[in-house]
Structure 1
Amino acid sequence: MKALILMIQFMTRFPIPITVEFTATHFVQGMKWMPLVGMLAALPGALIFFLADTCLSRETAALFSVIMLITVTGGLHLDGIADTADGLFSYRSRERMLEIMRDSTLGTNGVIALVLTIFLKFVLLSQITGQGALFAVIATPILGRTALTWHSACARYARDVRGIGDYVNQMGLSQALAATALSFALLLLLLALFGVSANLVPAVAMLLLLPPIALATGFAQYLKYRLGGITGDTIGASIELAEILSFFIITLVWRYIL
């Protein structure tokens, strides 16, 4: 339970008045809870979406829910994708790219990545038909944080400094598999609650689950080549990229399969 509380405190802005020591043990154990943390982070956005979609319009609901999802995380992952874009698209040496990513100043590439990420989420969510949009608001944070565990398990930390890298380097396949199992269970439950036919639920859950994992894993391998490993920023970027991909896949699934 301490590991779960730590992950909620670390990954969201929910005010939980419980002090949990930030240790490698709690951090690594908490990784298996990432999909649940994602679902909890999604609930305020889902409520906002439901109310706005009922009273206003689908576009307004999509905009408000995307804003709420950002608010709940404090923009933590958006900062990651912006810094990652600034570093990778600078096309400098490995050491210089890592310096750029650590710099708090936001560059042109970071601004572009930030705007495109928010815009793509809004557009894709607006296009999802029926109850699929509300499902997407809840499911994409689950899938994004599942992808995070694979991104972290597939590569070592790029910087040779103490800190979060010490914890990330202890991540392994067992934590990623545990998170994937939990994510699969949550997706099965959500799909059933949203009225998907029982004979389609397992196949659709796998269809939603595998692409974000493949993306996060492939991204980690690419970063090993470019940077020598992953960083806290690329972990955040993997979440955002996986969520965009998940929105796109849910759009297709709800339109052509369900």
Structure 2
Amino acid sequence: MSLDRFRDAVRFLTIIPVGASKDAPDSEWLVRSSQFFPLVGAIVGLASAAALLLTSLVLGPVIAALMAVLASVLLTSAFHEDGLADTADGFGGGWTVEQRLTIMKDSRIGTYGTLALLFAIALRVAALAEMPAWTGAAALIASGAAGRAVVLPVVGWMKYAGNTSAMKVAYAPSPLRPGEIGFATIVVLLALTLLAAASGTHAPFTLLVGISCGIALAIAVTLWSRRLIGGYTGDVLGAIEQVFEVGFLLGVAAVIRSI
């Protein structure tokens, strides 16, 4: 059922309590629930937006931006940030495919991962601090939805580079169905519409630059992953989501600063 798949997506991507699953997971549960990833991302963005708006009532834009990013990190238990750090460590420290995959599985964080996290968080905070509060709030919802959506074509395009038998969750490769793609697309478009409304007359340019910057970074990491490990892993998907958010927020901030 769709409600069960939505709960699977919430359970997988966040720490929001939705109750334990009553059924044993089938091999396609992750693929079937991925249509709801953008919706879950929008929910996380909404929580971050609330933190931004509430904090901005009493404190300055930098602290408000920090609280917004902190809300996202707490709500997802740093799920995507962990993927970014592992990917940076693996790609930066490994000389062979096997070495890179081994490093990515290591729970310890190295220099490359630490730097990647610091810059990713700092850039998101800095970008949000450049925006009016309501625009920043809308940008958080839009980037949350679009960031979770941008990983879906990567899964369909590239092969899984890790060992599926060693995965922590049951998984079997399966393409998204047209209805699932349509639902995810509608969620992203609605989230982008909120940002367009908050951007006023400059909405088309704001969306164009934001999406272009986010996709450019996402494509760069995707191609980098294909070259270094021959495909993707869960950590790589987390890294792609993170760099999309960074690029998207920086693009929106750049447009706002220029007008």
> Does TM, normalized by the shorter one, top 0.5?
yes
Q: 2:69 aligns to what? A: 66
SS in 1 for 2:255: helix
Q: Are 1:180 and 2:185 an aligned pair?
A: yes
Letter in 2 for 1:10: F
Contact 1:4 1:33 survives alignment (8 Å): yes
CA distance in 1, matches of 2:76, 2:243: 16
Partner of residue 106 from structure 1, selected from 104, 109, 114:
109
CA distance in 2, matches of 1:169, 1:207: 33
Change (3 A) 1:214 1:33: farther
Cα offset for 1:137?
2.3
1:74-103 Cα offsets, whole Å, 9 max, x none, are: 011111111101110114111111001001
CA distance in 2, matches of 1:136, 1:223: 27
1:97-142 Cα offsets, whole Å, 9 max, x none, are: 1001001111111111111111111111111245322222222211
Change (3 A) 1:153 1:178: farther
1:148-202 Cα offsets, whole Å, 9 max, x none, are: 212222211102332368736324585556523431133124533x3635xx656
Cα offset for 1:210?
4.8
Gaps of 5+ in 2: none
SS in 2 for 1:13: coil
CA distance in 1, matches of 2:60, 2:16: 28
CA distance in 2, matches of 1:20, 1:52: 38
Change (3 A) 1:142 1:85: same
Letter in 1 for 2:104: M
Contact 1:24 1:167 survives alignment (8 Å): yes
SS in 1 for 2:200: coil
Gaps of 5+ in 1: none
Partner of residue 19 from structure 1, selected from 15, 18, 21:
21
Change (3 A) 1:216 1:24: farther
Question: What does 1:157-172 correspond to in 2, within 5 Å?
Answer: 157-162=160-165, 163=167, 167=171, 169-172=173-176
Cα offset for 1:226?
0.9
Q: 1:124 aligns to what? A: 127
Change (3 A) 1:29 1:20: farther
Structure 1 stretch 48-57 or stretch 172-181: which is displaced more? Answer: 172-181
Letter in 1 for 2:171: Y
SS in 1 for 2:95: coil
CA distance in 1, matches of 2:208, 2:150: 13
What TM-score, normalized by structure 1, do the two folds share?
0.87
Contact 1:45 1:68 survives alignment (8 Å): yes
Q: 1:196 aligns to what? A: 200
Identity rate of aligned residues, in percent? 28
Tell me how large the CA RMSD over aligned residues is. 2.5
Cα offset for 1:206?
5.2
Change (3 A) 1:238 1:165: farther
What TM-score, normalized by structure 2, do the two folds share?
0.87
CA distance in 2, matches of 1:46, 1:243: 14
CA distance in 2, matches of 1:148, 1:157: 13
Structure 1 stretch 126-135 or stretch 236-245: which is displaced more? Answer: 126-135
Q: 2:243 aligns to what? A: 241
Contact 1:223 1:229 survives alignment (8 Å): yes
Partner of residue 83 from structure 1, selected from 60, 82, 86:
86
Q: 1:219 aligns to what? A: 221
Change (3 A) 1:75 1:211: same
Aligned length in residues:
254
CA distance in 2, matches of 1:125, 1:195: 14
Structure 1 stretch 59-68 or stretch 140-149: which is displaced more? Answer: 140-149
